[in-house]
Amino acid sequence: MLPRARDYERVSRRIETALDGPRDDADDVIEAILEASADVLAITGSCWHRTDPASGLPIAHAMLGEPAGSLEESLIYEYRRPDLNRFEELRSRRSPVGAISAETRGEMAASARFREMIAPTGSADELRAAFVDPFGLWAAMVIFTERRMTPDDLEFVSRLMPVATAALRRDAAARALAERPPVDAGDAELGPSVLIIDRDDRILAADAVARRRLGAVPDPRPVEVPGLISFVAAQARWGSDGRSQTARMLADNGGWFLVNASLLDDRDAGNVAVVVQPAPTASVVDGALRALGLSAREREVAALVLQGHSTKAIASALVISPWTAQDHLKAIYEKVGVSSRSELVSLVPA
């Protein structure tokens, strides 16, 4: 029997209560949604990525139950053979939630991803949700179900998105502002490291520093390279017209790497060169400022404050009046919860 309105309402209240409370782990927000809605949505499995808000690319990967297919298979339909409900498209929709059954009007075989990857596992549908707000994309979730999703199911998930996205961003802010060790003790001064991976994301060659850095990145799958590298490699192979791709990658101690992937000469072979190095301070600070809810202009002003610039220098650099620069500063202080430059500088770690 399909859920009734009171069933959705009961689960919504349970999720909202869970998201209001303290959380010990960055994945707790999505796990709370999945565990509470498992019965009403008939969930058989799920996978999700926490994402870099600026690029939308994954920084960490997790799963529950038995999700259909594999990350490597899903990347083919995301980049090489684009299918329905790609996350790049979902994040720009008014409601960033979609199901294959709704997109195909019940003609499920119209989706190659469903026909070739999902249906053979016995799942009846796939629902995707992008946790996006004006400051970036914070997570992307895929749910596999034992029945087709209804308009009521999609409306239920859509109503959850604003509160869940806000909880994800609050969690990102708390973690961004926490003091943490370098990305790898003794590693920050070693500079770039390199590995070469084949079209199946197997390592063909790597230097010792690259192998050590890969070991600092968690992944729930028994694979040679983390999911983020699979994503940027797929973009380099299939979605970039030969351009290199860059993203940030989260280490298990909370530090950040910068990853750059470039397709090598023999395009048909699909081999990709990947450069991994500690992320520049500017990109880490930008992530923290996004999580704090600062607009693009406010992030520019705050970054200059953190570099020690005066209000007059900020106004000159951004071609605005000193009074406008001061107004931006007041808005930043209010959003962040500080009252002076020194408090802002002490709050946001370099």
Does residue 247 contact residue 136 with C-beta atoms inside 8 Å? no
Q: Please give the backbone phi and psi of residue 187, each rounded to the nearest 5 degrees, phi first.
A: -100, -25
Does residue 97 contact residue 128 with C-beta atoms inside 8 Å? yes
Each residue of 76-109: pLDDT tens digit? 898 888 899 999 899 999 899 999 999 999 999 9
Residue with tokens 């992320």: 279
Going along the chain from its start, the domains and CATH numbers come out as: 5-177 (3.30.450.40), 188-281 (3.30.450.20), 294-347 (1.10.10.10)
Q: SS3 helix, strand, coil % of the chain, rounded to 5? A: 45, 20, 35
Output 175 or 307, whichever has higher pLDDT.
307
Average pLDDT over all residues of the chain:
88
- Torsion sign, CA atoms 89, 95, 99, 104: negative
Contacts of 344 (CB under 8 A, 6+ apart): 302, 305, 306, 332, 333, 336, 338
Residue 350: per-residue pLDDT:
54
Kindly report the pTM of this predicted structure: 0.86
Choose among 283, 288, 297, 296: nearest CA to 344: 288
Does residue 77 contact residue 112 with C-beta atoms inside 8 Å? yes
Does residue 161 contact residue 94 with C-beta atoms inside 8 Å? no
Q: What is the dihedral of CA 207, 211, 217, 218, to 10 degrees?
A: 150
Burial of 147 (0-12, 13-18, 19+ CB in 10 A): middle
- In the numeric block, which tokens belong to residue 247? 């993203």
- In the numeric block, which tokens belong to residue 265? 């000469």
Residue 219: per-residue pLDDT:
73
Residue 163: per-residue pLDDT:
93
Q: Is it the case that residue 170 has pLDDT exceeding 70?
A: yes
* Alpha helices (H) along the chain: 5-20, 28-37, 71-75, 87-90, 100-103, 112-113, 151-177, 208-214, 227-238, 281-291, 296-306, 311-318, 322-336, 341-347
Each residue of 36-85: pLDDT tens digit? 999 999 999 999 988 888 888 888 788 888 898 888 888 889 888 889 99
Q: Which of 135-139, 159-163, 260-264, 345-349 has the lowest mean pLDDT?
A: 345-349
Spatial strand order of the sheet with 136-145 comes to: 58-65, 43-51, 136-145, 125-133, 97-99
Instruction: Report how far residue 198's alpha carbon sits from residue 116's, in angstroms, rounded to the nearest whole number.
Output: 23
Q: What is the DSSP letter of 189?
A: G
Residue 80: per-residue pLDDT:
84
Mean pLDDT computed over 105-120: 95
Residue 142: per-residue pLDDT:
96
Residue 185: per-residue pLDDT:
46
